[in-house]
Structure 1
Amino acid sequence: MTVHVLILCTHNSARSVLGEGMLNHWAKQLGKDVRAFSAGSAPSGRVNPLALDVLQAAGIDTAGCRSKSWDEFTSTDAPPLSIVITVCDSAAAEQCPVFFGGTGQPVKVHWGYPDPSDAEGGEPGKRRAFELTRQAIGYRMLQLLQLPLATMGRTELQQALAAISRS
């Protein structure tokens, strides 16, 4: 059974898109039955071009990347979410909607990253910040994929995801 993961950031333009791209890439590379999605509570309507650039430079497919609302994941025909990861502090502080389609509410965890769009140093500084954020998110996604997701109970999964957030 596919494990569906939703990665949230307020505007769904950078960090959450990086998370979606990295998790789907690593899951495919490792043969894991995991599918990532990203969304935002107040989507900007566009993906930051630097997010797409660093993903593409790392050989990651960006086809289909778009900024979208978390409302797409609240309908009864949405993928049944197992895990919801917030990657920005403002999204972590927001009240998440009820996600339907599964056997219950997904396990939620916060893995915060500074907004690479706010990096100093002009274009080179921002590009470096985006690449470092992509690497940091990718590392945690690899850790997530090492978990025995198919056999973990809710409490065990919550504890494992929290442990990853501290690494």
Structure 2
Amino acid sequence: MKQIYFLCTGNSCRSQMAEGFAKQIMGSKWQVKSAGLETHGLNPLAVQVMAENNIDISSQFSKLIDTDFLFSSDLVVTLCGDARDRCPVTPSSVKKLHWPLRDPAQANGTQEEILTVFRKVRDEIEVRVLELKAELELEK
């Protein structure tokens, strides 16, 4: 089974949403996980906006990078510059992608303005995962 690993700084928002979408979109041929350089806990707003798209990530939790899974992954996707710059070196067999996404946890304003940022990031992640699946299917 092929493996995909989504990484960001705290494994609280972006990588968690990417894991949720990829588990739904990529299908059973891919083992999907996410992790962070640190653990910041699962952000409840990420759970909320994913639920709006009928994807339940509420049972996911913030995890540190598992080097065994990282080194055996087929694809690693970093979702922030911090993860890209600080990710452990991987074997050349591991394909790496970088998706520079805004950190919704850093959004300011009213609750609705903050949710709007979370929704924009969520929607961008969904588009990117759909595009990724299409690209990977063309590579076969």
TM-score higher than 0.5 = yes
The answer for the alignment partner of 1:165 in structure 2 is: none
- Give the counterpart of 1:111 among 69, 75, 99: 99
Give unpaired runs (5+ residues) of structure 1: 153-167
Deviations 1:57-111 (A, max 9, x none): 21012253110000x2x23xx4831000000111111142447xxxx64111110
- Cα distance, 1:82–1:138 mapped onto 2, change above 3 Å: same
- 2-structure distance, mates of 1:136, 1:97: 27
Q: Secondary structure at the match of 1:4?
A: strand
- Cα distance, 1:148–1:10 mapped onto 2, change above 3 Å: closer
- 1-structure distance, mates of 2:104, 2:64: 21
Say if 2:69 is the partner of 1:81: no
8 A Cα contact 1:23 1:35, kept in partner:
no
State the identity %.
Answer: 28
Question: C-alpha root-mean-square deviation of aligned residues, in Å?
Answer: 2.1
The answer for the alignment partner of 2:6 in structure 1 is: 7
Q: Secondary structure at the match of 2:105?
A: helix
The answer for the alignment partner of 2:124 in structure 1 is: 136
Say if 2:135 is the partner of 1:147: yes
8 A Cα contact 1:22 1:134, kept in partner:
no
- 2-structure distance, mates of 1:93, 1:19: 19
Please list every run of at least 4 consecutive aligned residues from structure 1 whose deviation after the TM superposition is greater than 6 angstroms. Answer: none
1:35 to partner: Cα distance? 2.7
Q: Which amino acid letter does the alignment assign opposite residue 81 of structure 1? A: S
Say if 2:64 is the partner of 1:69: yes
- Cα distance, 1:10–1:148 mapped onto 2, change above 3 Å: closer
Say if 2:49 is the partner of 1:54: yes
Give unpaired runs (5+ residues) of structure 2: none
- 2-structure distance, mates of 1:142, 1:107: 18
8 A Cα contact 2:17 2:57, kept in partner:
no
8 A Cα contact 2:37 2:87, kept in partner:
no
The answer for the alignment partner of 1:160 in structure 2 is: none
8 A Cα contact 1:12 1:39, kept in partner:
yes
TM-score norm. by structure 1 comes to 0.75
Q: Tell me which structure has the larger Cα radius of gyration.
A: 1
- 2-structure distance, mates of 1:112, 1:91: 10
| Residues paired across the two proteins, number | 139
Q: Secondary structure at the match of 2:76?
A: strand
- 1-structure distance, mates of 2:101, 2:116: 14
Q: Secondary structure at the match of 2:108?
A: coil
- 1-structure distance, mates of 2:33, 2:116: 24
